[in-house]
Amino acid sequence: MNLLWLQAAGCGGCTMSLLCAEDPNALDLLAGAGIKILWHPTLSEATGAEVTALLAGIEAGELPLDILCVEGSIARGPMGTGRFNMLGGTGRSLLDWVASLAPRARHVVAVGTCATFGGVTAAGSNPSDAVGLQYDGALAGAALPSTFRDPSGLPVINISGCPVHPDWVTETLMLLASGALGPADLDDYARPRFYADHLVHHACSKNEFYEYKASAETLGQMGCMMENLGCVGTQAVGDCNIRTWNGAGSCTRAGYPCINCTAPEFEEPHHAFTETPKIAGIPVGLPTDMPKAWFMALASLSKAATPKRIAENAVSDRVEVPPTIRKPRK
């Protein structure tokens, strides 16, 4: 399968993350799956006339394009021309190239939250009118219309994350190469369900503290960060704490709250990322699928039953009280 990767308005961080894939590395893995990278602006040697000839061949239908990957948001400004973000040497905007190449691809993949929903590039007043490929925040219809479908009936496949986990990209591409990704395998935002059916909360190393509502008060402490430090891992989709990053890490394991970077409009939480908005002392953002009354009752009971070990360790930067050693009964 032929893959073309374009980088639009973004930081390139998703490519950097992809290069962290291990055992095997991303390039060996894709080659083993029969995926040929026609061109990638960071990884490929080809430049200049060689690239423009390649793009012209794809556009003319002379070179088949199986997968079009786009990283970074699409800048539609100024005034819908897209000329804030030009593809060097072509005299044409990324907006124009995407509109031309997407209908010629068997599959279209948006890599990273900028490409999927607009992401950080669309934050604030958004002077460049940056949007995702098929979503403008949570609204369908952006650089490509909401009705866009590839020949197999799939919309733009949204591998959201800031940056994406390298395995999310490689696993999606391998599923496409094997013909094993269908409409039922995508969630309501067209994110692959193999990672979007999980919550960041699943397998979080702070779950014991969460169960007893034993909360950290400042960054660097061991306790749960939901109550005071803005963590939304109980609401954010992603298997970050199941497959982890580089075989060991995640945001919460590193002591930083989950900021829900796989979701549309995560970049505009309307409060500091490390603050938990509350009403009458109750967090506004409750865990997914949990009614407020149940959460209040559970939190009250859990805090009343918190063991001394968990309460003291929650506000420490290391284990101060070890678990009790239980000796076997004779």
Could you read off the pLDDT of 4-31 as tens digits, one per residue? 999 999 999 999 999 998 888 999 999 9
Could you read off the pLDDT of 15-73 as tens digits, one per residue? 999 999 888 899 999 999 999 999 999 999 999 999 999 999 999 999 999 999 999 99
pTM: 0.94
Could you read off the pLDDT of 118-163 as tens digits, one per residue? 999 999 999 999 999 999 999 999 999 999 999 999 999 999 999 9
CATH number at 2-194: 3.40.50.700
Could you read off the pLDDT of 297-311 as tens digits, one per residue? 888 889 899 999 999
For CATH 4.10.480.10, list the domain ranges present in the chain: 198-318
For CATH 3.40.50.700, list the domain ranges present in the chain: 2-194
C-alpha distance from residue 184 to each of 4, 108, 189, 226 (Å): 25, 17, 12, 32
Give the mean pLDDT of the chain: 95
> Among 3.20.20.150, 4.10.480.10, 3.40.50.1000, 3.40.50.410, what is the CATH number of 198-318?
4.10.480.10
Q: What is the pLDDT of residue 129?
A: 98
Return the closest-CA partner of residue 118 out of 76, 178, 59, 56: 76
The answer to whether the CB of 110 falls within 8 A of the CB of 134 is: yes
The answer to whether the CB of 166 falls within 8 A of the CB of 17 is: yes
- Give the mean model confidence (pLDDT) for residues 202-226: 96
